Amino acid sequence: MADQKTCPPLTSDSVRAAYPLISPYIHRTPVLRSKTLDRMASTAQEESALKGTAFEGQKPAAPVFRLHFKCENFQKIGAFKARGAFHAMLRLCSELGIDEVRKRGVTTHSSGNHAQALALAAFTLNIPAHIVMPSISTKSKIAGTRAYNARVIFSGSTEPERVAVVQEVIKATGAILVPPYDHPDIILGQGTVGLELEAQVRDMAEGSAEECSPKQGSSLDAVITPLGGGGLLAGTAVYFSDKPCTSVFGSEPSFEGGDDGRRGLAAGSRIPEVSTLTIADGLRTPVGEVNWTVISDQKKVRGIFSVTEEQIKEAMKLILERLKLFIEPSAAVPLAVILFDEDFRKLAEKEGKEKGWDVGVVLSGGNTSVEAISRLYGTK
């Protein structure tokens, strides 16, 4: 990767500078609304639904939400990762020279979305790519990576297993590592999701009779993204860091300790290893070191919440049926928090009061298959 010492600082201005670099290579994905989902999210949960949870015995919150879904499932390669991959590759070519990068090639490890994104960026710039993927990766993600002429090498599913194979690739080929999330250039590229989202929501508010609450240059009270390695959440938080009236939140699966970000904040230090087979396969990685410097800053990320596998499935089902959007489980995690996490809902109820909250919900990707979805919802 480009030397971190020469990288732009992690500021909102740097996100704005990244945007024109990558704009020729990415889609400006749409923002969608659903009054039905607004109504469902704004309805208090049944008390019976809280039995057996940490919220049992509490009065269910009844916040008012207006949800703005940023559809990165429509992004190139089907996920937001194209933004960071193109920004990182363009910066790398600028720093080392494109001929040198073409001579050496690039490598990375990824469960699928960054794999496809780097493969696309490398194919576009005519650079060889060696992609390490867990052998349990979704077949459609493997096929999508190979479609851009990338060489795919399989590994185990854990972070240490992936990294070990990447090191073998680097030793054998001299390829340059383009990490999936833990680098400033990746973070700044992913932050352009927030830049687009804010502008689109503002434009929607100006063109509609329905009023959105003005928040010092932003029409959003809050933005919530999934959290895996942390590039998307950190980039979004960096972009909104100069807009203190827009709170940024992360969302994770709780299954088998997949909520390392939430637990790390509670413990006061980053958790370096995660081993979970949550259905949200894009969120199985630990938060990166560079990303943690942003995510652990409460002035940038206000909180992280986690949800169960069943809650993720329910949120995904609603998005499929109500928004008519094909998404992967990782992308449903933010809506699951909005619907089911009483701590988040009570915060929105308290601060939003009668007027409520305008919330940007980042649907991070749609790289799954009909077969995988059928297995999730099939009868036992």
CA–CA distances in Å: residue 99 to residues 24, 90, 104, 105, 189 = 21, 13, 9, 10, 23
Q: Single out the catalytic residue among 76, 81, 215, 243.
A: 81
Strand runs (DSSP E) across the chain, as ranges?
31-32, 65-71, 106-109, 129-134, 151-155, 176-177, 222-226, 247-253, 303-307, 357-363
Q: Do residues 133 and 118 touch, judged by C-beta distance below 8 A?
A: no
- How are beta strands 106-109 and 129-134 bridged, if at all? parallel
What tokens were used for 30? 């749409």
Tokens representing residue 102 in the block: 């073409």
Q: What is the DSSP string of 284-351?
A: -SPPPHHHHHHHT-TTT--EEEEE-HHHHHHHHHHIIIII-----HHHHHHHHHHHH-HHHHHHHHHH
Q: Catalytic site residue 317? A: no
Query: Distance between CA 191 and CA 232 in Å, rounded?
Result: 6
Other CB atoms within a 10 A radius of the CB of residue 47 amount to 13
Which strand ranges, in their side-by-side order, compose the sheet holding 151-155?
A: 151-155, 129-134, 106-109, 176-177
Q: Residue 202: enclosing H or E segment and its boundaries?
A: helix 192-206
Buried b (16+ CB within 10 A) or exposed e, 27-40: eebebbbbeebbeb
E-only strand ranges, 72-128? 106-109
Secondary structure letter of residue 256 according to DSSP: G
Q: Is residue 139 annotated as a catalytic residue, yes or no?
A: no
Catalytic residue chosen out of the listed positions 111, 218, 219, 251: 111
| Residues forming beta bridges with residue 248, ordered by sequence position | 223
Looking at the annotation, which residues are catalytic? Answer: 81, 111
